[in-house]
Amino acid sequence: MTRIIQATEEHLPGLIPLFDQYRIFYKQDSDLAAAERFLRERMKLKESIVFLAYHEGEPAGFTQLFKSFSSVSLQAVFILNDLYVASQYRSLGIGAQLLKKAQACCREKRYKGLALETAVDNPARHLYERLGWVKDSHCFHYFWMAG
């Protein structure tokens, strides 16, 4: 059985290893202390919402949402910045449950919607499309790196 909760600082011991594994997946070095600092600060400053999935009582995956705004539509939006399910819990529908929880949160808050960015070879993109995400084909995404 899977249970999804909104994580607080008390849930950090279960969340930090998942967050570290997520960063390793994206070719970053393991750094549990930095992961804890980052997550603790986001929670303390209420800069993100993290949903944590437990499968049979064990931390299995998470998603992290950051609030942003659309000046054009004059509405708040969420950026679904992170989605991760530990390898031993994949194919159990946990990713879909986390995405549906994020969608429900968005509806509850009456936000415009959810935005996400993923690698072109990420197999999860099929899950996103199945759950109603639409791939942008009318714009480019750019990024400028300081330093």
Does residue 12 sit in helix, strand or coil? Answer: helix
Give the whole-angstrom CA distance, residue 28 versus residue 43: 22
Single-letter amino acid code for the residue at 136: D
pLDDT at 144: 80
What are the structural domain ranges in the chain?
Answer: 2-130
Phi, psi of 85 (to 5 degrees): -125, 125
pLDDT at 125: 83
* Token pair in block for residue 32: 């549990």
Helical pair 12-25 and 32-44, crossing angle rounded to 10 deg: 120
Considering the segment(s) 2-130 as one domain, its CATH architecture is: 3-Layer(aba) Sandwich (3.40)
State the CB neighbour count (10 A cutoff) for residue 78.
24
- Give every CB contact of residue 14 below 8 A, 6+ residues apart in sequence: 52, 54, 59
Edge-first strand listing for the sheet containing 58-70: 2-6, 48-55, 58-70, 75-85, 114-115
Contact 33, 19 (CB under 8 A): no
State the CB neighbour count (10 A cutoff) for residue 14.
16
Q: Kindly give the confidence (pLDDT) of every residue in the chain, 147 residues in length, as a single tens digit, with 9 standing for 90 and above.
A: 999 999 999 999 999 999 999 999 999 999 999 999 999 999 999 999 999 999 999 999 999 999 999 999 999 999 999 999 999 999 999 999 999 999 999 999 999 999 998 888 888 888 888 888 888 888 888 888 898
Single-letter amino acid code for the residue at 140: F
- Residue 2: Cβ-neighbour burial (10 angstroms; 0-12, 13-18, 19+): middle
Report the candidate in 114, 37, 38 with the shortest Cα–Cα distance to residue 80: 114
